[in-house]
Chains A and B, each alone.
Chain A
Amino acid sequence: MDLAFFGVQLLNGLQYGLLLFLIASGLTLIFGIMGIINLAHGAMYMIGAYLVYDLNLRLGNFWLAIVVAVPIAVALGLIIERLFLDTLYKRDHLYQVLLTFGLILVINEVQRIIWGGDVHSVAVPSPFDTSLQLTSNLQYSVYRLFLMGVCLALAAVIYWVIRHTRLGIIIRAGAVDRDMVEGLGINVRTLFTLIFSAGVALTAFAGMIAAPLSTIAPGMGDSILITCFVVVVIGGIGSIKGAFWGAILIGMAETFGSVLIPSLASMVIYLIMAAVLLVKPRGLFA
């Protein structure tokens, strides 16, 4: 493997990792603060991708499509939280698992009804539909670089919110001791709705900006969900920092795994997880 090729894989791994972070951060926040395990998280990623595909066709502009799609995703999160999760906060994780599994079935099927079972794609939007010449025979998509930039910017925003705002203090307190938040005289209902919608928006947004790079297909949310579970388990539940480093690690592992040891590629991330569980059962950053 020459250096340029290695560099490209490094960038790919980083980009994939950053995307995973967007999804996993929502997952880990929702669990850390609300104590809810949301299996439908991946389905929302898929919905994000399909929304952008659909709106891109209707509006003829990728960026406009995103602007319209994000509020729809937030609204969806709001509806789900208010309609279904409200009753589940005090109940066992089992019921959360089952209810959100039921939601997956419904969402996946609604997707089929609206958009059918075909595979779609979205063209890389201008002005990023060019590539960068790295060496004489290696190019790198500018859109991928742009995507990395967006993810990093969002990561920075999340970091800032958690470190330097009142909301962040509440979030950090909640991740350690949920009862404490209730004791602080905070309107927990509003906080939960906010967190859940934000988490759903993050994952749906990830689906949107990743749409030009991925094949948009039914069930695409399932595999990403499980990868994000691995990220969260590795990083430590409720820890944004853990989600970040876990995501980068998994992004790299999967990218390099598929290049170096294709026969074991799909196993690599699980082997890493097993190793982490063996050493630190509560995750690296718990």
Chain B
Amino acid sequence: MLHRYPRRVAIIMLALTLCVAVFPLWGPAVFGDQVDFIQEKLTLMVILALFTMSLDLLVGIVGLVSLGHALFFGVGAYTLALASPEYSAASLWWMLPLVIAVAAITAFVVGLLVIRTKGIFFIMSTLAFGQMFFYLISTSQFAGGTDGLFIMFRPSVTFGETTLLDLSNSQTFFYFCLGLLIVGYLFMRWLTRSYFGQVLDGIHDNEHRMQALGYATSGYKLVAFVIAGVLAAIAGMLAAMQYGFANPVQLGWHTSGEVLMMLILGGMGTIFGPILGAFAYEILLYVYEHLTVHWPILMGLTIIASVLVLPRGIAGLIIAPPWNRKKTPVAKEQAAESVIPPNSIQRNEG
């Protein structure tokens, strides 16, 4: 059934999570004095995983290919940067709701416009809106122009006088991000298996049919767009905390392209795939950067290759390993019987 996967998926994901979670135990032994650097990389991967997962809701689940998702990543980063007091730490208790609110409003307004478009128009208009914000930010005085803004203090998490989490500690911050990723994952898992998720699947397969059944598909798409935007903004906020700055590059279209790459690499529409994709992409990037200064060529070729030979990404490999592809003679027989080839069934939209 949909969004339910073989047991090995759960086992692999749990094992990997555990592995990452106990990094402070084995990291120093493997990486020596590079361990701090590697831990920062890991934190970044966790943040990007959350970002990629949010895009999966649009691309993989609803079938809306957004090439402007970095916009919301940037909204999160800049909201944090602009709302933080200059010489003291903001409180996460109001910073997080603020980021969520700003992102939700932005996503709602942008969504109202772009949801009206379909297919390639959607791709182009999301790209264009992303660039609109990019130019808005990079030419604005208040947002620091092309230099961006620095964030001197990470938000504090306190209860009364006691500090619950000290986010300026890199290890605490690492676990904080990991925790948010896990919460995000569970939320997405619940969402995709809910009725709402079923409706989104229906829209993905055949939007026109959903309308003919009486569904206000635009409304559902808009809600998905807002949820994806909010999740991306949370990831953007974390990224800004991690780097200590918000920069226009974070909301440029190359970032949008990169996160799409992570998605395809991991396997879209699977929720867990994007997490693998973000890690795989960052590891590849790290390796390529060490191999040559012309690493973008390798990255570009990797993406082209994965589009051509591995369209379902790493997740596809795990769900149905090539050495373990079940042959289903029954289904084949029935497909042969059918007058209309199975792949033409979906091609009925507008």
A and B touch in the complex (CB under 8 A): yes
A interface with B by C-beta (< 8 Å): 31, 37, 39, 84, 87-88, 91-95, 97-99, 101-106, 108-110, 112-113, 222, 226, 229-230, 232-233, 237, 263, 266-267, 270-271, 273-274, 277-278, 281-283
Q: Roughly how many angstroms separate A112 CA and B268 CA in the complex, as a whole number?
A: 32
Please determine whether A229 and B127 come into contact, CB atoms closer than 8 angstroms: yes
Which of B139, B260, B296 is most buried by chain A, counting CB atoms within 10 A of its CB?
B296
A residues less than 8 Å from B131 (CB atoms): 226, 270
Partner of A98, one of B114, B294, B307: B307
- B252 shortest CB reach to chain A, Å: 9
Please determine whether B297 and A110 come into contact, CB atoms closer than 8 angstroms: yes
20 contacts between A and B (CB under 8 A): A37-B120, A94-B59, A94-B264, A98-B307, A99-B304, A99-B307, A99-B308, A101-B257, A103-B300, A106-B296, A106-B297, A106-B301, A109-B300, A226-B127, A226-B253, A233-B117, A233-B124, A267-B135, A273-B128, A281-B116
Residue of A nearest to B141 (CB): A263
A residues less than 8 Å from B297 (CB atoms): 105-106, 109-110
Query: With an 8 A cutoff between CB atoms, is B121 at the interface?
Result: yes
Please determine whether B308 and A108 come into contact, CB atoms closer than 8 angstroms: no
- A116 shortest CB reach to chain B, Å: 12
Interface string of B297-313 (1 = CB under 8 A from A): 10111111001100100
Please determine whether A277 and B294 come into contact, CB atoms closer than 8 angstroms: no
Please determine whether A98 and B264 come into contact, CB atoms closer than 8 angstroms: yes
B residues less than 8 Å from A31 (CB atoms): 120
B interface with A by C-beta (< 8 Å): 59, 65, 67, 113-114, 116-117, 119-121, 123-125, 127-129, 131-132, 135-136, 139, 253, 257, 260-261, 264, 268, 294, 296-297, 299-304, 307-308, 311
Please determine whether B300 and A270 come into contact, CB atoms closer than 8 angstroms: no
Please determine whether B125 and A277 come into contact, CB atoms closer than 8 angstroms: yes
Please determine whether B253 and A84 come into contact, CB atoms closer than 8 angstroms: no
Contacts known (A97-B67, A233-B124); A109 close to B294, Cβ less than 8 A: yes
Q: 3 closest A-B pairs (Cβ-Cβ)?
A: A105-B300, A270-B132, A102-B303
B residues less than 8 Å from A103 (CB atoms): 300, 304
Q: Roughly how many angstroms separate A237 CA and B123 CA in the complex, as a whole number?
A: 12
Please determine whether A93 and B296 come into contact, CB atoms closer than 8 angstroms: no
Please determine whether B67 and A277 come into contact, CB atoms closer than 8 angstroms: no
Since A93-B65, A267-B135 are in contact, a sample of 12 more A-B pairs with Cβ atoms closer than 8 Å, ordered by chain A residue number, is A37-B124, A93-B123, A94-B264, A103-B300, A233-B121, A233-B125, A263-B139, A266-B136, A270-B132, A274-B113, A277-B125, A278-B113
Please determine whether A102 and B311 come into contact, CB atoms closer than 8 angstroms: no
B residues less than 8 Å from A273 (CB atoms): 125, 128
